[in-house]
Amino acid sequence: MDTKLPSDDKKKYLLLSTWTWMATHATEAEVKKRGRENIIKAFGSIEKAVEFQQHYLAAEATEAKAG
């Protein structure tokens, strides 16, 4: 059985990480706004993005344990 995460999920996770950084750590207001907008556009809401992130990290941990 293949337990590898789909590469699309990895790409989404990396984009989400970038946008989260933009929304929380950028010094320019426009960059913060763009990060938040990108998250909402891609996931529908911040809550859904957080849910995706939690599921992704749990699956990644399971995959790491499986070897």
Q: Quick one: pLDDT at residue 7?
A: 86
The per-residue pLDDT for range 13-34, each reduced to its tens digit, is: 999 999 999 999 999 999 999 9
Q: Quick one: pLDDT at residue 64?
A: 84
Is 60 exceeded by the pLDDT of residue 3?
no
Q: Quick one: pLDDT at residue 50?
A: 97
- End-to-end CA distance of the chain: give it in Å, rounded: 12
**Sequence-ordered list of residues with C-beta below 8 angstroms from that of 54, at least 6 positions apart, any chain:** none
CB 20 within 8 A of CB 46: no
Would you list the domain boundaries of the chain? 7-66
- Determine the Cα–Cα distance for residues 9 and 22; give it in Å rounded to an integer: 20
